[in-house]
Chains A and B, each alone.
Chain A
Amino acid sequence: MNMGTRIIADMYRDSVALMKISSAITLLDGVSQASCIMATPANLDLLREAGLIDGDPGARPNEVLIAVEAETDTALGAALDAAEAELRADPVIADGGGDVSEPLRSIEMALDANVDANFTLIATPGPFAAAEAFKSVRLGLNVMMFSDNVSIEDELALKTQADQAGLMVMGPDCGTAIIDGSPLGFANVVRRGDIGIVAASGTGLQQVSCLIDAAGCGVSQAIGTGGRDLDSRIGGITTKRAITSLGADPDTKIIVLISKPPAPDVAKAVLEHAVATGKPVVACLLGHTPSEPSLSGVSFASTLEEAAYLAIAASGATGNKPGGLIEAALPGLNADRRYLRALYSGGTFCYEALTMLGGTLDAVYSNTSSTGIQTLTDPWTSTAHTVLDLGDDLFTRGRPHPMIDHRLRNDRIVAEAQDPDTAVILFDVVLGHGSHEDPVAAMAPALSAVPGQKDGGPVLLGFVCGTGGDPQGLTRQREAMADLGVLVADNNAQAVRTAAAILESAQ
């Protein structure tokens, strides 16, 4: 006699079905005994008693065990196959079979077709984006709104409804995030690690996550909240929820908060919320003077560079110490050239530069407002020290963002170079998904048109916000910049300090 067993995992059949199969197999030619059971230890015990199995067949309670005793090996194999085929027989599902794919035309339809969806990424024209976000929240989905032009009333209603439903709304105007290792929107390819980021600023999030990556550390989650989340009207609803999530996340050891200056009461509430997680907190609230000395456990950073440095240190690695200048010798300048012209595509870089320069240089002009900064009457023409956010609506109306389309900035570089007062042209290059596929190549025509310093031209000074994993390649972009005669800084803060040092040395 030959005995054999077969195990079918995750198969739940009621006793009628199992009895039917057992009986059917027993009737096959050459089969003397057969049993089909849920493989509980007690049942295996009975099968041993019945002499149908020896020892432990290695089956678990949620598995079906087929045990057969037959006259020949062939009959045994055939019986086991027949029993398995019968168990695995697909139920007849009344769907007509075949390809039933239909383009998904609404969020609800997409959810019906992908029942485990838990997140919508919305990048529709603004007026419709709020509607799609409200739908998502109603359907029980978390939301990232890439779209802007959403009213603050809608934002508050959305975030409140989401919060009540245990959901998170990132945005509106949330350009970037990294959730569970997936880059969303304009995001860099950052290695995973133990630093969690909550940012009300897209480029701020990108800069810090890229510097963390460069130091060999990684990011657990990077959550964008939208620029207005820390406005007193919103009260940091998303920031608080994100902090709670990171607090509960076993993979997050350090929490980094990044924002432009928040409403003071909101800043206090958010920081207290972060401290309550019991995890080390790094707060980079640009332009915000810490007035919360009692908050132990919070390290305040005045620049994105410093925020990354503190987070890296908390993570147990050593990053580049903040405060340094470019290692290369600073170039001399034609004495007539006196002014900085900073042309940013990233809004937070512009803001960070203004906070750094506000107390250092006289007469700094910009298209965005900050303490000690004067507003340009005509943003299309620079005056004295000019620091521009070229991603401002003013410049992007009717054309793509300068991270994607470099023409506007190229024209401005050429114009600044022709201004005999221009001493330093400072610019950012942002890599990552969604950005231009080869930004330095796109800027090359303008950069190479700027006269070199030995020909009396201005200093070209830039930095790249990106990682080695980004599709554009961090090293390749940096080298291409150097080849075009650009002084390449590690990050924005270093670039700004270097610019200030060059201007100082020229005086």
Chain B
Amino acid sequence: MRLAVTDMPEHFPAQIADGQTMSVFPRVINLALNCDRNRRSIVTIDARDKAPLAPGTARLTAPAELDFSHLVRPGTDLAVRGGILRIHSADLAFDFRGAAPVAWEVRPTRPKPNQSRLSTGWIDAWSLFIDAPDPCGFAAALFADTQRSAFDRALARRVRATVPDFMRAGADTSLPDAWACLRRLLGVGLGLTPSGDDFSTGFFLGFERTSHEPGQRDFLHGLTRATLTQTHDSTDVSRACLTHAAAGRFSAPLTGLADGIVRHADNLPTRLANVLEMGHSSGRDAAFGVLCGLAVRNPDLRARVITQLNNAHMQEKSAR
């Protein structure tokens, strides 16, 4: 079955390339392409209904019943020849010839947000986020006794100990302190994109939306640059995502949430739901990051995050 790709990342090697499938989901495939002998790029093929625009993603429409995970194994060789991406021994190919290359527009400056609107938007979004069922990833650390394994407990301890300091360092735009915290979060957590990486992506976005002073800009730039030096310590897929985030390229649901909070949009529940839908814990972690990033320089909002984390910690401690 050959499917026509609607749009694709700007620099997709549409003529000739070889590679492998990495992870395969019912409507999404992550694949690695060897652009030349030394460079590998990660591309996500997204066939979900109304798939959002996201960096590094090629979107397409596929018949409703089609399930990639019944057609392709992870780790299968693939090749692009004459604009067609074929996957070895799978009855599946993608035609990139009609795909529109998506150039990612990174807007350098945004209007300064109205603080009171941001604040009420944030508080609404935060309560929606806190009330979302089945917290997982970093968000599990916000609640007592949600951790089932020793690893989960260690992760929660790490989040509760590090995120408050990270936010304070952010408020002070103290790069060394912030980086000391962030490096303890990157690469932490389950899944293809570890929770810490998704959280950082969200944080970069949230912080960027509230940064207007040159000092703040420099701080964010320093933080993303430092992050890029450590991405080799994460999975290939996550590295690709972090690289996009560091360059200011974020998926549409994520910017939708951040911008919705900033101007206190009416449809915050939908915007948050769009983010929570991403992956299993990825959306939750990224949303948490956005909320933290937006709260950094507002003492009241920041305190809500820190208090929630501290309370969870105290509750667990007293129960024991």
Contact = CB atoms under 8 A, between A and B. Distances in A.
A451 interface: no
Interface string A14-58: 111011001100100000011101101111001101111000000
B21 to A, nearest CB: 9
A15 B137 contact: yes
A247 B93 CA distance: 34
Nearest to B233: A41
19 contacts: A14-B280, A18-B190, A19-B136, A23-B148, A23-B149, A38-B190, A38-B194, A40-B188, A43-B188, A46-B155, A49-B154, A50-B149, A62-B235, A62-B236, A91-B73, A94-B71, A138-B82, A140-B81, A140-B84
Nearest to B83: A140
A138 to B, nearest CB: 6
A93 B76 CA distance: 13
Interface in A34-91: 34-35, 37-38, 40-43, 46-47, 49-52, 61-62, 67, 90-91
A317 to B, nearest CB: 29
Interface in A110-126: 111-118
B183 to A, nearest CB: 8
Nearest to B22: A12
Given A33-B150, A50-B150, A50-B154, A40 B190 contact: no
B74 interface: yes
Interface stretch (B23-31, B204-212, B258-266, B310-318): B23-31
A166 interface: yes
A61 B187 contact: yes
A51 B151 CA distance: 9
A141 interface: yes
Contacts of B84: 139-140
A412 B155 CA distance: 88
A43 B282 CA distance: 16
Given A10-B75, A15-B281, A139-B84, 19 more contacts: A12-B30, A14-B280, A15-B192, A15-B195, A15-B282, A26-B148, A40-B234, A42-B185, A43-B194, A46-B154, A46-B188, A61-B187, A61-B232, A93-B71, A111-B81, A114-B88, A115-B86, A141-B82, A165-B82
Given A92-B70, A93-B73, A115 B233 contact: no
B117 interface: no
A67 B136 CA distance: 20
A95 interface: yes
Interface residues of B, number: 63
Contact of A61 (B137, B233, B280): B233
Q: Which of A12, A35, A140 has the most CB of B within 10 A?
A: A12
A33 B195 CA distance: 21
A112 B86 contact: yes
Given A26-B149, A166-B16, A38 B191 contact: yes
B279 interface: yes
B196 interface: yes
Interface of A: 10-16, 18-19, 22-23, 26, 33-35, 37-38, 40-43, 46-47, 49-52, 61-62, 67, 90-95, 111-118, 138-141, 165-166
A115 B77 CA distance: 8
Contacts of A15: 136-137, 189-192, 195, 279-282
Contact of A14 (B18, B23, B78, B83): B23
B156 to A, nearest CB: 10
B82 A91 contact: no
B11 interface: no
B267 interface: no
A19 to B, nearest CB: 6
A100 to B, nearest CB: 8
B16 A91 contact: no
Contacts of A113: 89
